[in-house]
Amino acid sequence: MVSPEPKLSVRDLRIGYGDDVVLSGVSLDVYPNEIFGIIGPAGAGKTSFLRALNRMELFTDGMRVEGEILFDGRNIADVKNVYALRRKIGVVFPLPVGLPMSIYDNVALAPRLRGVKEKEALDEIVERCLTRAALWDEVKDRLHALGSLLSGGQQQRLTIARALSQDPELLLLDEFSIAVDPVTTMRIEDVLRELKEEVTIIMVTNLVQQARRLADRTAFFLDGTVVEVRPTEELFTGEVHDPRTRDYVEGRFG
């Protein structure tokens, strides 16, 4: 069986802030329509890795990125319109931050910015994205209420709906469970399983069992390097290449 072309290829990625190097020599591939998990202790460089994929060094003082990041075969450093790139690579951050506007307008903002004006078209996008984020049934009767008045779990799903409104091809999730209760976490996990039919997902999580439940393959980051990348179940049950991986997934440190 021929392997698909990678959706994302990272080659010898190095990231630093000022004189500090936080990632060095990272190389990995992410394939279409997979959930790719990233685990590792705090300070391993996981969030910086996601930031580099979305070209956030352009807006982060002192952040420097070296090496190659190829998205659909094209080096993202060569992309002139970073906003167009970000429409294809959506990000959901750890703490939900609703924009200071209604639930409807939170989701409709990106479509409006790309030129969608008709109310019927916007209505369809808002309903579709809120449904995909498992939020529509809870908010459909109060779409014009402030998004900031939603519960923490609802705001997190609103940020997912907002990211989906850009029709991304790659969705980056940075510890989405950090401020969400266990029941809502499970609902979001169900959403992600469905979304991977349409979108490639890279998921940073501090919960190793979450990676085990969701990720097709998982990378273990430690001390600014990638220790290994394996099919997720192998990482937990098979022979790992590095004993530090076994120690981490079994909770001996981190």
Q: What confidence tens digit (pLDDT) does each residue in 35-90 have?
A: 999 999 999 999 999 999 999 888 888 999 999 999 999 999 999 898 889 889 99
pTM of this prediction? 0.92
Q: Which helix (H) or strand (E) holds 113?
A: helix 103-113
State the alpha helices, DSSP H only, in 165-242.
Answer: 182-195, 208-214, 232-237
Closest by CA position to 177, among listed 37, 33, 31? 37
What is the rounded distance in angstroms from the CA atom of residue 118 to the CA atom of residue 31?
35
pLDDT per position as a tens digit, 98-121? 678 999 999 999 999 889 999 999
Helix pair 152-164, 119-132: axis angle to 10 deg: 120
Task: Report the relative pairing of strands 63-71 and 8-17 from DSSP bridges.
Answer: antiparallel
Query: What's the pLDDT tens digit per position in 177-207?
Result: 776 788 888 888 998 999 999 999 999 998 9
Q: What domains, with CATH codes, occur in the chain?
A: 8-249 (3.40.50.300)
- Residues in contact with 198: Cβ distance below 8 Å, sequence separation at least 6, in sequence order: 33
Which token pair is 169? 């091809």
C-alpha 211/C-alpha 234 separation (Å) is 12
